[in-house]
A and B are shown apart, each in its own frame.
Chain A
Amino acid sequence: MKAVSAVAAANTAAPGTARPKKSSFWKVALRNRYLYAMSLPFVIWVFVFSYYPLWGWLIAFQRWKPGKSIWEQKWVGFDQFKTLFHDDLFYQVMRNTLAMSLMGLVAVFTVPILFAVMLNEFKSMFFKRAVQTISYLPHFVSWAVATSIITRMLSSDNGVVNDVLMALGLIREPVQWMGQGHLFWGIVTVSDVWKETGWNAIIYLAAMAGIGPELYEAAKVDGASRLRQIWHITLPGIRSTIIVLLILSIGHLISIGFEKQFLLGNNLVRDYSQVLDLYSLQYGLQMSRYSFGTAINIFNSVVSVILLFAANGLFKRITKESIM
């Protein structure tokens, strides 16, 4: 297997240098004392900030009131989840989340591959570098900056998108891009493509750089056109990278975050911009319905893990590639 994700790398054992001499655990531990001193503080750190908050999941089964400890709260079983599944807004939020993440999965996944393939066909090293460097510029700006730029470009007064479309005669009058719910999903997806295409292409370009040039030479001798070379050499060459990244993105399908939706959305497009994390923020935190909000968080985590394992299992069966 050529492509291994960072995670997988962590799980595969490094070349074991088993000591020939059998020494007791404590003897080795004493010898490892510096290594322990260097890792234990951070292990504790991770416990506090990543594992300990998992206890907080218990409050999803309570009617949590501030000021009392977690054991003094009233236990209500699955009531919060029942409320959640009976809330019409929840289904709207799920619809928006799934719509945007599926659109994102398709676009933000395929466009960088296409971009990388095209860039790889560039003969001039100088232009290749230049285009690549420019392409990942938007990745480095925050969503706050990106939002400011995107709303400017889409603005109905003097926004360049409207100007260009009018000059081309495609529209008669400026479109209120940010004020129409049914356009919101598309705007989020296109913004994401704009921001991340160059950055996401880096991995594919690196994988392509690893393909042996003799394969292309042989294909050329056989008279294969460049398109055929792409189809039969380049794409198969990055196949395992594609699959590993696809599995990882499926795992994150419903936890798509909320930054772009929060910053790009407004009250006019609310019905289309509300996503799961925002729902948890607004109906859980800002209204102090902590238990209800936590139920949403749990739902999110559980679905993510199920999706990750499902995607992993599916691809393991079909393509013999997996991340675990």
Chain B
Amino acid sequence: MAAKRMTRGAPLSDRVLDAVIVIVMLFVVIVTLYPFLNVLALSFNDSTDSVRGGITIIPREFTLKNYSIIFSFSGLVTGFKISVLRTVVGTILGLISASMLAYTLARPDFQGRKFVSTYLAITMYVSAGLIPFYLLIKDLHMMNTFAVYVLPGLVSAFNVFIIRSFIDGIPYALQESAKIDGANDFTIYWRVVLPMSTPALATIALFLAVGQWNAWFDTFLYNGSSDNLTTLQYELTKVLLSTTSGNNGDYRNTNITQVLATVSPESVKMAITIVVTVPILLVYPFLQRYFVKGMTLGAVKG
């Protein structure tokens, strides 16, 4: 109703503005979606046919061959398992650490509150850098272990602060009344604060899961030489780096190189890209209603 009234009496400039906005938004939608749909179509299209070009968003010669090829790579199957495992373990551990720290920081009667806040905030700006960190991982004998995926990045100050500002918004009286009822601090955290923080926890879970799922550099740096700890993203980067023009085979490609010689590497690349993308896209509609709220929580206080 209101919208209708506005358009009818609106000056010309407003109608021009509307038209411009609609055109820009259409452009945004196409530019965002088309590449994904194109890659999806290519991944389902016969690889020799794809070379002819002209595939848009619908496969011309439908085939599942590209997928059956990539799933015959042992590296990819291992990669899938390790990626799922690190995402699940990393998300759970990350949620526990962030929520526990956030809870203690949100307690006005906690002595260590100020110190711990500052102590965490500093880590957001000062980091030792690649090489000192690499040497630390080496000294801790974490090279070629699964632990290197989840333990070093366990505590993220940013996530702690987002959950903390959410908990700050929950009436403190609830915690106090639980205390009067005889609950200890841990019980309050577990039974009162956590259940009420679902939106914030869902947001952080999404951040953590996306981060874990998308990480490849730690595999490259620490676990590149152990075939049974490789991740899906790393397998994709290996294919990418080995097929990019001008790059030579610095990167170990056990069985992928042989297969790429027999079929078009492009189709295989597209199929792997889809396999790497789909799981994370399946997660996000479920958490979506939370994360917009949660994202803004950390940044804007009304």
Q: Do A and B bind each other?
A: yes
Residues of A within 8 A of B (CB): 2-7, 9-11, 13-17, 19, 25, 28-29, 31-32, 34-39, 42-43, 45-46, 49-57, 59, 115, 118-119, 121-124, 127, 131, 133-135, 137-138, 140-145, 147-153, 157-158, 160, 178-179, 194, 197-198, 202-203, 206-207, 210, 225-227, 241, 244-245, 251, 259, 263, 266-268, 277, 280-281, 284-285, 290, 293-294, 296-298, 300-301, 304-305, 308
Do A115 and B300 touch across chains, with their CB atoms under 8 A apart? Answer: no
Given A49-B136, A56-B128, A285-B131, A144-B299 contact (CB < 8 Å):
no
Residue of A with least CB distance to B168: A14
A147 to B36, CA, bound (A): 12
Q: How many A-B residue pairs have CB under 8 A?
A: 308
Q: Can you list 19 A-B contacts (CB < 8 A)?
A: A17-B108, A29-B111, A32-B110, A53-B128, A53-B132, A54-B128, A127-B25, A135-B29, A145-B276, A157-B51, A160-B34, A160-B38, A206-B300, A244-B299, A266-B246, A285-B134, A293-B131, A296-B129, A301-B128
Do B109 and A19 touch across chains, with their CB atoms under 8 A apart? Answer: yes
Residues of B within 8 A of A (CB): 3, 6, 10-11, 13-14, 17-18, 21, 24-25, 28-29, 31-36, 38-39, 42, 50-51, 53-55, 97, 100-101, 103-114, 116-121, 123-136, 151-155, 158, 161-162, 164-165, 168, 172, 184-186, 189, 210, 213-217, 221, 233, 236-237, 240-241, 244-247, 266, 269-270, 272-273, 276-277, 280-281, 284, 288, 292, 295-296, 298-302
A96 to B54, CA, bound (A): 36
Do B123 and A294 touch across chains, with their CB atoms under 8 A apart? Answer: no
A227 to B21, CA, bound (A): 12
Q: How far is the CB of A195 from chain B (nearest CB, A)?
A: 10
Known pairs A14-B108, A35-B104, A53-B127 / 18 extra A-B pairs, C-beta < 8 Å: A39-B101, A42-B154, A49-B154, A57-B128, A59-B132, A124-B3, A131-B28, A131-B29, A140-B280, A142-B233, A157-B53, A179-B246, A194-B31, A206-B296, A207-B296, A290-B135, A296-B129, A297-B128
A36 to B284, CA, bound (A): 35
- Give me the 10 closest cross-chain CB pairs, A-B, nearest first: A297-B129, A56-B132, A142-B214, A267-B246, A158-B53, A206-B296, A34-B185, A53-B128, A6-B161, A123-B3
Given A152-B270, A268-B246, A134-B109 contact (CB < 8 Å):
no
Q: Which residues of B contact A15 (CB under 8 A)?
A: 108
Q: Which residues of A contact B118 (CB under 8 A)?
A: 10-11
Q: How far is the CB of A137 from chain B (nearest CB, A)?
A: 6
Given A3-B301, A152-B42, A285-B131, A301-B126 contact (CB < 8 Å):
yes
Q: How far is the CB of A29 from chain B (nearest CB, A)?
A: 6
Main secondary structure of the interface of B (DSSP, over half): helix
Do B185 and A35 touch across chains, with their CB atoms under 8 A apart? Answer: yes
Q: Which residues of A contact B103 (CB under 8 A)?
A: 38
Q: Which residues of B contact A36 (CB under 8 A)?
A: 112
Q: How far is the CB of A17 from chain B (nearest CB, A)?
A: 5
Main secondary structure of the interface of A (DSSP, over half): helix
Do A121 and B17 touch across chains, with their CB atoms under 8 A apart? Answer: yes
A225 to B233, CA, bound (A): 49
Do A305 and B125 touch across chains, with their CB atoms under 8 A apart? Answer: yes
A82 to B281, CA, bound (A): 48
Residue of B with least CB distance to A308: B125
* One of A43, A227, A266 near B119 (C-beta < 8 A): A43
Q: Which residues of A contact B126 (CB under 8 A)?
A: 54, 301, 305
* One of B34, B104, B131, B168 near A290 (C-beta < 8 A): B131
Do B284 and A140 touch across chains, with their CB atoms under 8 A apart? Answer: yes
Q: Which residues of A contact B135 (CB under 8 A)?
A: 53, 56, 59, 290
* One of A144, A157, A297 near B236 (C-beta < 8 A): A144
Q: How far is the CB of B292 from chain A (nearest CB, A)?
A: 6
Do B152 and A263 touch across chains, with their CB atoms under 8 A apart? Answer: no
Q: Which residues of A contact B298 (CB under 8 A)?
A: 5-6, 9
Q: Which residues of B contact A115 (CB under 8 A)?
A: 28
Do A25 and B111 touch across chains, with their CB atoms under 8 A apart? Answer: yes
Do A10 and B132 touch across chains, with their CB atoms under 8 A apart? Answer: no
A32 to B240, CA, bound (A): 52
Do A6 and B110 touch across chains, with their CB atoms under 8 A apart? Answer: no
Given A38-B189, A56-B132, A118-B21 contact (CB < 8 Å):
yes
